[in-house]
Amino acid sequence: MTSTATTIEAELEAAIRRDTADTADTGASRRDRFRLPEGRDGRPKAYLAGMSLGAQPTAARAAVEERLDAWARLGVDGWFDPERPWIDVERELAGATGRIVGAAPTEVTTANTLSIDLHLLLASFFRPDGARRRILIDAPTFPSDRYVVESQLRHHGLDPASDLVVVRPREGEDTLRPDDLDAAIDRQRDELAVAVLAGVNFATGQAIDIRRHTAAIHAAGGIAIWDLAHGAGNVSLALHDDDVDAAAWCTYKYLNSGPGALAQLFVHERFAARADTPRLAGWWGNDPATRFRMAETFDPGPGADGFRVSTPPILSLAPIAVSLALFDEVGMAALRERSIALTGALERLIDAHVPDATIITPRDPAQRGSQVTIRVRDAHARLAALEAFDVVADVREPDLIRLAPVPMYCSFEDVVRAVDALRQTA
């Protein structure tokens, strides 16, 4: 047995002891409240893919079945059932959602999907006027965000070739320098209409200083919209206090709400509380007091609810409620503390045992969430080899492997298993 293998074995023993102690004092882990994919030996796989799709809370199945039963028993009367009415069930999520993202309950709502919500927000806040008609984004950009932004520009008769500003890392670097982003925003101060930035980058895992860059956008005369697909439930957020104008995020990554689950959005109260804020309207955004009067005139509901459009999918809301209850139980502060410990362990072990891997995620815990991205040769072949060791991760082209030890359900043992698999598949 090599000395490296012996070291890995010692790391594994230490990780198991640490996990046992964490479970004994309850900590932030809720691993026993999730169903994780099983490996060949019947044990849970090392599931480090929560940045793509979160694991299933064990209570999700019963929650959906309860809604199915209500549908069978009550039919259309389920909307106004005296015990558990569906009519505004998404409002039940607002308090927990606000606590996760740092917002008042009236500033958040659950509706649509992420790309749709970004379109809706841009329809409200991208109002090109003369020279002030540019949209600024950061790179690498998740493709859907880029498609949304370019199509919005074209919708207004503008040309992405001249009116889309893309801020990229410097040549030879993987992540954005904060000063470079601020400088790029400032250079557009006469033309900037909106900036659409990722709170946590999907590829590199870099977390952006939302307060700082929102202030820079406002100083340049622009509106700040944040895509928090990889931020909500992952990093500490204070959307209201950071003066963010609007934001949107999916719930199926760190919020563990199921594949293709509904998204959520935030609109700061200075806009959400105003009936004259432009918006694309639909009847579920209408004031609940008048919604069923079938009025011909749209009267927006209070707060972010006035940005909803369509009848909510009641079955899909059930797992979201289950997951948010777990976040309320643990709290974001405890989850962040555990996340920093898990990613720190992963970083240290990769440095020590996987010499062919280059970590591109920032080393500073304040600049990352639960994701650590590495660059390796033959990433797809390496990922297939990891699967053989019952480690679940994913690839982003051309040569990146993303690993996310999500604090709610991943363990320190998972981290060691993943590094051991990377070591053996080098």
CA distance 316 to 62: 13
- Tell me the pairing of strands 372-375 and 358-359: antiparallel
Determine the Cα–Cα distance for residues 362 and 234; give it in Å rounded to an integer. Answer: 15
Distances, alpha carbon 279 to alpha carbons 127, 180, 307, 309, 389, in Å: 11, 33, 7, 10, 50
CA angle 302, 307, 310 (to 5 degrees): 110
State the amino acid at position 191 in one-letter form: E
Could you give the angle at which helices 3-24 and 412-424 cross, rounded to 10 degrees? Answer: 160
Told to judge if 252 belongs to the known catalytic residues of this protein, a careful annotator would answer yes
Here the tokens at position 126 are 């991208």
Number of Cβ within a 10 Å radius of residue 206? 27
Q: Which of 67, 253, 336, 382 is flagged as catalytic?
A: 253
Tokens of 270: 């200075």
Measured from the Cβ of residue 114, the count of other Cβ atoms closer than 10 Å reads: 24
**Strand, coil or helix: what is 218?**
helix
- Among the listed residues 227, 242, 305, 390, the single catalytic one is 227
Q: Is 409 one of the annotated active-site residues of the chain?
A: no
Q: Which amino acid is at 128?
A: P
- Is residue 142 annotated as part of the catalytic site, yes or no? yes
Which of 34, 125, 126, 142 is flagged as catalytic?
142
Give SS3 for 224: strand
- Select which of 252, 327, 409, 412 is catalytic: 252
Strands 223-227 and 400-403: unpaired
Q: Which of 169, 166, 171, 189 is nearest to 179 (CA)?
A: 169
The label of the residue with tokens 């297939």 reads 384
> Active site includes 34?
no
Which residue(s) pair with 137 in the sheet? 166, 196
Given 279, 402, 417, 423, the catalytic residue: 402
Nearest to 116 by CA among 324, 310, 269, 313: 310
Residue positions annotated with a catalytic role: 142, 227, 252-253, 402
